[in-house]
Structure 1
Amino acid sequence: MSPVATQPNAHAEGNSISQASVKQVSGQAAPEAGRVPPDLLSGLRELVAPPRFDSDSEKREYLKFRLAQAFRIFGHLGYDEGAAGHITVRDNIRPDCFWVNPFGKHFSLIQPADLILVDHEGHIQDESGPIRRLNRAAYMIHSAIHAARPDVNCAAHSHSIYGRAFSTLGKELEMITQDSCAFYNDIAVYRQFGGVVLEAEEGEHIVEALGDKKAAILQNHGLLVTGGSIESAVFFYIALEKCCQVQLLADAAADGTNTKTIKISPEEALYTYKVIGSEFAGKVNAATHYQMLEARESLDWESYKAKVL
C-alpha cells in the first residue's frame, strides 16, 4: 500500500488521522492510517505544489493550461465519444463561472485558448475563446454541481467504455481491490435515466444523488467525478474507469468459475480509503499522467508561459 494520503477524507489535508483508525492485523497493531514520514511528505507536497503566480490573471491562465492538458490526457486514453464529454474548472477570479470545452472539438486538440467561460446561468463570457458552442448537457450538469458544491473546483464526465458498460447494471462499485477502496463510501449511483441532460431539473437530480461524494455512476450514461482540483478529478476519473473494468472482468470470471469475488471488509476498506482516497492522493497520482503528457508534447507550464504569456 503506497502511503500518499495524509488526511481523513477526500476533501481535506493534514498529516494524521485519529487514533480510532488504528486497526489490528493478524493480532498486531498496524501503523496509523495516513501517517507519512516527514521527509516523504515534504517530497510529495513538492511534487503537487502549483507554481507561484504574480497575479490572479496568471493563475487563471495556469488553470486553463491544466484543464486543456486534462482533455488531452482523456483524449489519449480514448475517453472521447464524438462530441460527448466535458470537464470544467471553477474560475479563480470569478467563482460563479467555470471553464469548459467548446462543443464539437476533440479532446486531443483542445488548447487553453479554446476554452469557454460560462456563468451558472449559462451565459458565455467575453473571456471565452473563439469557438463559442456550449454543450447544453455540460452546462446543465456542471452548473448545478458548481453551484451546490463550493468544495468542488473541477468536475469530469465522459462516455468512457467501461464506465458506460458498468453503468448499465445499476449496481454499486464493490470493494474488491485496493484501488476500489479509493471510493469507499465516496461514490453514489444515480439510478434513473432521463435521456440527454438538456433540462436543469435533471442536473439537479444528479447533484442530489451525488450528495457530498466525489463520484457518481450515472445509470445507462457513464461516470461523473469531482475534485478540489483539476488533477484529483482527472486521476480519480481514470481510477474509477479502471475499477469498473476490473469489476466487470472479475464478475465475469466469478460467474465462469461458479465462484464469488472476495470482498474487502468495511474496516480494511476504510483504512485503505484514508490512504488512497483523498484529494492529496489524487493530486499525487495525477502527477504521473501529467508527466507523461508533457514528455509526449515537450511542453510544460514554464515553456508554455514563456511562449504565450
Structure 2
Amino acid sequence: MASPTDLHEASRAIVQTAIGNENGHSDKAKTKTPLELLSQGVCLPGIPQHPTFGEHRQWMLEKMALAFRVFARKGYTAGLAGHISVRDPEWPHTFWMNPLAVHFGLMKVSDMILVDYAGKPIGGNTSSPANGAGFQIHSAIHKRRPDVMAAAHTHSPHGLAWSPFGRRLEMLTQDVAYVYGEAQGVYNDFGGVVFTEEEGVKIGDALGPKGKALILQNHGLVTVGHTVDEACFLMTLVERCCQVQLLADAAAANGLAKTYVSDQAARYTFEHSSTPETLYWEAQPDLEWEAAMSGGAHRG
C-alpha cells in the first residue's frame, strides 16, 4: 500500500509530466507537486504520518467521526441509510464501519465497529449492529481496491435527484473536473437494497480500478479515497456537482446554452488538483469546523 511519501513523489511526477507535455519539454524549475502549486509561499504539509498503528487508528477514527458530522450538517442523513468505512492500518483485510441507528451528527470514535471480510464484528463497538447493505458495498470495494483506505455512501438529496438519469456528470465546472475521466463511474443495474454479495460485487466492478466517485442509479453516491478525509470531501464535492448539473439542465431547458470545460482543461485540472494530498487538505476546513463545534465529543 502506498505511503504518504510515495504519494507525494507520485504527485510531483504527475505535475512534471503535465508541464513537460504542455510546454513541449521538461522544465525542472517548474517541477512542483499539486500541493506546492496550491500553496503560495510556505507549502501545506503532506498527509500526517504516525509512528504506531494505535496512533494512526485513533487519528483516522476521529476523522471518520468528524466526516459523519460534516454529512449531518450538510443534510445527508436519511433514516438508517448511509455509511463510511475505513480500512484498518494494521490489519488491512478488516475495516471500520458506523453502527446502525446512530445519527451522523452524534458519531464518535467509540461507536465504530471493526469487521472482517466475512462480516464478523471483531473489534470496537461489537455490541451494536453495522449496516448489512453497507457491509456488502464496502467489503466489495475494499477487496477489489487495495489502494482505497476509505469509502463513503450517502443518500444525499441532489445525488439522489441526479441518480435516476443513470448518467455521468458533465464537465460543466472546475469542481467536477476533480472526477474527470475514469475517476467517475455509473452503476446502471440497480437491484434493490444491497443485501447480497452479488450486488455489492457489481457496485465494486462499476467503480473500476481508478474510480473515485460512483453514481448509483436510483440509489445515491459512492466516493472513495486514500484517507477518510478525501472520501468525505469528494462526497461533498460530487453532491454539489449534482446540484449544479440539475440547475444547469433546468436553465438549458429554457433555451440557455451550456459551455463545457474542454477535455484538455479538465484533464489539466484533474492532474493538478485531484491528488491524495490536495483532496486531504480540501476536507480540512469542514472537518476542523466540526471538531470545534463538537467540543471534542467526537473523540469519545
Normalising by the residue count of structure 2, what TM-score does the alignment of the two structures yield? 0.87
Distance 1:223 1:11 in 2: 30
Residues 1:173 and 2:169 are matched in the alignment: yes
Equivalence map 1:90-239=2 (5 Å): 90-125=87-122, 127-129=123-125, 131-185=127-181, 186-212=183-209, 213-239=211-237
Answer whether contact 1:12 1:278 (CA < 8 A) is retained. Answer: no
Structure 1 residue 49: Cα displacement: 3.6
The letter of the residue matching 2:233 is: F
Structure 1 residue 38: Cα displacement: 10
Q: Select 1:260's aligned residue among 250, 257, 260.
A: 257
In 2 relative to 1, CA 169–103 (structure 1 residues): closer, same or farther, beyond 3 Å? same
SS in 2 for 1:99: strand
SS in 1 for 2:101: coil
SS in 2 for 1:122: coil
Structure 1 residue 42: Cα displacement: 5.4
Deviation readout 1:59-115 (Å, 9 max, x if unpaired)? 212221111111111111111100100000000121110000001111111110010
Answer whether contact 1:114 1:130 (CA < 8 A) is retained. Answer: no
The letter of the residue matching 1:44 is: L
In 2 relative to 1, CA 148–293 (structure 1 residues): closer, same or farther, beyond 3 Å? same
- Which sections of structure 1, spanning at least 5 residues, go unmatched? 1-8, 25-30
Deviation readout 1:219-276 (Å, 9 max, x if unpaired)? 00000000011111110110000000001001101112x1331111100110111122
Structure 1 residue 195: Cα displacement: 0.2
In 2 relative to 1, CA 151–220 (structure 1 residues): closer, same or farther, beyond 3 Å? same
Distance 2:95 2:156 in 1: 23
Structure 1 residue 132: Cα displacement: 2.1
Corresponding residue for 1:294? 291
Identity of aligned residues (%): 38
SS in 2 for 1:14: helix
SS in 2 for 1:87: strand
Distance 2:187 2:265 in 1: 26
SS in 2 for 1:292: helix
Distance 1:160 1:40 in 2: 34
Distance 2:9 2:82 in 1: 24
Distance 1:265 1:34 in 2: 23
SS in 2 for 1:118: strand
Answer whether contact 2:47 2:277 (CA < 8 A) is retained. Answer: no
In 2 relative to 1, CA 11–245 (structure 1 residues): closer, same or farther, beyond 3 Å? farther
Distance 2:97 2:103 in 1: 13
Moved runs in structure 1, 4+ residues, more than 2 A? Answer: 9-17, 31-43, 48-53, 297-301
Aligned residues: 285
The letter of the residue matching 1:83 is: L
In 2 relative to 1, CA 230–137 (structure 1 residues): closer, same or farther, beyond 3 Å? same
Structure 1 residue 40: Cα displacement: 4.3
Corresponding residue for 1:242? 240
Higher helix fraction: Structure 1 or Structure 2? Answer: 2
Distance 2:21 2:95 in 1: 37
SS in 2 for 1:139: helix
Deviation readout 1:119-149 (Å, 9 max, x if unpaired)? 0110111x22154212111110000110110
SS in 2 for 1:13: helix
SS in 1 for 2:79: coil
Answer whether contact 2:153 2:221 (CA < 8 A) is retained. Answer: yes
In 2 relative to 1, CA 131–261 (structure 1 residues): closer, same or farther, beyond 3 Å? farther
CA RMSD of aligned residues (A): 2.6
The letter of the residue matching 2:140 is: A
Residues 1:17 and 2:16 are matched in the alignment: yes
Answer whether contact 2:85 2:98 (CA < 8 A) is retained. Answer: yes
Answer whether contact 1:21 1:33 (CA < 8 A) is retained. Answer: no
